């Protein structure tokens, strides 16, 4: 039986310096898939729900950041991510950042992953085979200056943007308008910089949306300041 989700894993770089590395990113994306149904029905159909992803890290790998999902402690030494449901044709993303300790030159396993979900049609739990991901360690110093994957960089920034918007709402609700403005402006500038460098229109549109939101934050701050002066 074909799986209902199709995962893809992309490192920000496949080769790293043997002396260790910081902020090596892994983008995890998964797509809902189904077969033998008209396209209109597929677009509305939930193909998997209660999706969970378990991750086991090797001893030389330390998680330093997660974007797009909250992490729980799983059984044993695993990390557990509860990812909800997905529709046919839909794509979702989460991103991780790792710190890697020095290792001998060569290919080394970094982490192991396993997906679990329920298929709505049969209400049966399905587990996909455990997958292992590795990285190549090298002494060649060119890896210290090589460009990282733009695909990974782009989606990490989009995931970070969603988190920033949540934080901005909290700051505004507690009256910290200046902090909200600064945080939003920093992220908008980052998106615009990346969009200008890459020519990516999705990033440009996201940056424009944030700059428009900055105007409303600025107006709210000005109004609050004016009321305090009265």
At 144 the pLDDT is 85
Bridge partner residues of 24 (DSSP)? 98
User: What's the whole-number mean pLDDT along residues 54-71?
Assistant: 95
Ranges of beta strands (E only) in the chain are 5-11, 15-17, 21-32, 46-57, 61-67, 72-73, 79-87, 91-100, 106-119, 124-127, 131-138
| pLDDT, tens digit, 9 for 90 and up, residues 121-130 | 777 899 999 9
**Boundaries of every domain in the chain:** 5-143, 150-229
Bridge partner residues of 107 (DSSP)? 136
The pTM of the full predicted model, rounded to 2 decimals, is 0.88
User: What's the whole-number mean pLDDT along residues 80-103?
Assistant: 96
| pLDDT at residue 229 tops 70 | no
Of 3-7, 60-64, 170-174, where does the model show the most confidence? 60-64
Q: Which two tokens stand for residue 103?
A: 């290792």
More confident residue, 116 or 77: 116
At 84 the pLDDT is 95
Mean pLDDT, the chain, whole residue set: 89
User: What's the whole-number mean pLDDT along residues 153-167?
Assistant: 95
Asked if the 5-143 domain carries CATH number 3.10.110.10, the reply is no
At 230 the pLDDT is 44
More confident residue, 188 or 220: 188
More confident residue, 188 or 144: 188
How would residue 227 be classed by pLDDT, with cut points 50, 70 and 90? low
């Amino acid at each position: 039986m074909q799986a209902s989700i199709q995962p893809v894993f992309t490192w920000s770089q496949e080769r790293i310096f043997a002396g260790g590395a910081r902020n090596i990113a892994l983008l995890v994306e998964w797509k809902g898939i189904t077969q033998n149904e008209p396209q209109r029905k597929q677009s509305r159909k939930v193909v998997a729900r209660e999706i969970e992803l378990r991750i086991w890290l090797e001893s030389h790998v330390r998680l330093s950041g997660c974007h797009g999902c909250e992490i729980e402690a799983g059984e044993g030494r695993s990390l557990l991510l509860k990812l909800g449901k997905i529709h046919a044709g839909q794509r979702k993303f989460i991103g991780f950042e790792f710190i890697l300790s020095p290792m001998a030159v060569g290919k080394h396993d970094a982490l192991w992953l396993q997906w679990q979900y329920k298929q709505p049609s049969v209400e049966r739990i399905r587990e996909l085979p455990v997958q292992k991901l590795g990285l190549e360690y090298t002494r060649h110093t060119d890896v210290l200056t090589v460009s990282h994957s733009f695909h990974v960089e782009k989606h990490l920034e989009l995931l970070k943007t969603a988190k920033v918007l949540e934080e901005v709402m909290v700051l505004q609700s507690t009256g910290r308008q200046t902090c909200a403005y600064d945080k939003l402006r920093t992220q908008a500038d980052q998106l615009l910089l990346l969009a200008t460098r890459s020519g990516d229109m999705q990033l440009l549109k996201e940056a424009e949306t944030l700059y428009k939101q900055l105007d409303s934050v600025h107006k709210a701050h000005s109004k609050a300041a004016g009321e305090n002066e009265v």
